Amino acid sequence: MYERSGFVTNKRFLRDRVFHTFQWLMLDLQTISIHFIMKQIVPIFLLLIAFADASAQGVIQLSNINRGGLVTLNGKPVGIAWRVSFALPDGTLLGSPGSVSGAGLFSSGPRIIDGITGKVDLSVAAWDSNDPFLKGVSDPFSVTLGNMDNPASLPTNFSGVHIAIPEPGTPSLAALGILASVFNFLYRSNTKVYHANRSSIPFLYPYYSFSEPTLV
């Protein structure tokens, strides 16, 4: 009886030992699985988020053909030296610039606006490539950006870009003429005084001496 009881006790001990070992093994497997998931799934998830942010972009045609407004300088359409680009209302340029093809018209194809989708307020900026100080922007307009398959377009009532440089009027030109005449008079008067003073000092300028040396 004693021996049988000892056998049963050892059997229970072995069974409990196997059960606890199995539990610890399952916990280790769960821990390993969690670490594996964290190391593999989380980076993939972050990459997907980054890709979604990078792919957030709208597309719009940089063209004013059949859209009304032109690019003008003092009321005259500009030529091929001018560049155009989309811009935010604060003046920040967006997308790659295009060129005016002539007569104040531009048609440079679709432009990608990175980081912006849906409805947005935009303007068209224009500047002279030979003189960056000659620049201007159109009136802002609202547009819903599209994609490469279906890009948005400028509104049909596009205002155009109109740069005006004030020209000097008749009174300004007359004042400049008077100032030029006064400056010329003063310059000629000072020149005559200078030559007169110079000829009255023979020891400094012997060429203008009034007495010839006497030969002995």
Report the Cα–Cα distance between both ends of the chain, in Å, rounded.
Answer: 170
- Cβ(119)–Cβ(144) under 8 Å? yes
Q: Is the pLDDT of residue 193 over 60?
A: no
Count of C-beta atoms within a 10 Å radius of residue 62: 22
- Of the two residues 184 and 122, the one the predictor is more confident about is 122
Q: Which residue would you say has higher pLDDT here, 2 or 115?
A: 115
Stretch 61-68: mean pLDDT, rounded?
93
pLDDT at residue 172 in the model? 56
- What pLDDT was estimated at residue 200? 47
Residue 82 has pLDDT above 60, yes or no: yes
The mean pLDDT value for 191-197 works out to 51
Please compute the mean of the pLDDT values over residues 58-83 and round it to a whole number: 95
Q: What mean pLDDT is predicted for residues 19-27?
A: 65
Residue 35 structure tokens: 């670490």
Q: What is the mean pLDDT of residues 41-60?
A: 62
Question: Average of pLDDT values for 138-163?
Answer: 94
* 105 neighbors 111 (Cβ within 8 angstroms): no
Question: pTM of the prediction?
Answer: 0.56
CB 155 within 8 A of CB 141: yes
pLDDT at 71 over 50: yes
Share of the chain above pLDDT 90, in %: 44
The chain-wide mean pLDDT, for the chain, equals: 75
DSSP letter at 208?
Answer: G
